[in-house]
Amino acid sequence: SAVISQKPSRDICQRGTSLTIQCQVDSQVTMMFWYRQQPGQSLTLIATANQGSEATYESGFVIDKFPISRPNLTFSTLTVSNMSPEDSSIYLCSVVPLDRDAAYGYTFGSGTRLTVV
Amino acid sequence: TQLLEQSPQFLSIQEGENLTVYCNSSSVFSSLQWYRQEPGEGPVLLVTVVTGGEVKKLKRLTFQFGDARKDSSLHITAAQPGDTGLYLCAGAGDSNYQLIWGAGTKLIIKP
């Protein structure tokens, strides 16, 4: 299955600044997703990263706050802009490999634990 | 809107005991996935069930998909401290590319 390298693993940031999270996959993938998770809780989908086009955002998430890039089939970035303490969370990248139907499961990165002070 | 209710949300038991986690919905899913997540890591896929009535076993873990494909359960026999973690169920619904997530079950197995 695909192996995901997500960086940074954690960061502490000042409010008002921005952080870019990188997701690098060792093989080409069809779908890439960005999730947010409070520790010990379930996942909330932020957006689907589309290769070569604008990301598709879920309700409550906007491009100005969470710009996403996906320049190719193996890489994506999520930027958390103009951060506030409410953005403190775990951010996760997940993918569906080219050789797998999404219905059969996703592969996740190890996450980025963000604390905004 | 599809919802997936997962219970219990928290469970703390002694090593050697059995337990069951449930995920229920009024909606039909094309598949139901179970993940386990440990602190500092992303969720790891344990199993996917696709066929109504399907039962899959993974060592001491038994997964079942309801006949109507609206519910699923995870049963752990003789739980061990290594089973400790956050268990998440996720259903593939109208769009296979977007999952409906349960609230998660935080499981602690005490030695």
Which residues in chain B have their CB less than 8 angstroms from residue A31's CB? 97
The per-residue pLDDT for B95 is 67
Residues A7/A21, Cβ–Cβ less than 8 Å:
yes
Q: What is the rounded CA–CA span in Å between residue B61 and residue B105?
A: 15
Q: What is the rounded CA–CA span in Å between residue A24 and residue A7?
A: 9
Model confidence over A81-93: pLDDT tens digits? 999 999 999 999 9
A21-24 — which CB contacts under 8 Å span 24+ positions?
A21/A77, A21/A78, A21/A79, A21/A80, A21/A91, A21/A93, A21/A112, A22/A75, A22/A76, A22/A77, A23/A75, A23/A76, A23/A77, A23/A78, A23/A93, A23/A95, A23/A109, A24/A74, A24/A75
3-state DSSP assignment of residue B105: strand
Q: Examine the pLDDT at A99 and tell me if it is beyond 90.
A: no
Model confidence over A68-80: pLDDT tens digits? 999 999 999 999 9
Peptide bond into A39 cis (omega under 30): no
Report the percent of chain B where pLDDT is more than 90.
88
Give the residue from A29, A106, A110, A112 with the most B CB atoms within 10 Å of its CB, the best one to mutate.
Answer: A106
Q: Is B105 on the interface with A (CB under 8 A)?
A: no
Q: B96 falls in which pLDDT band (50, 70, 90)?
A: low
Mean pLDDT of chain A: 93
Which residues in chain B have their CB less than 8 angstroms from residue A48's CB? 97-98
For residue B14, the one-letter residue type is Q
* Residue with more model confidence, A53 or B107: B107
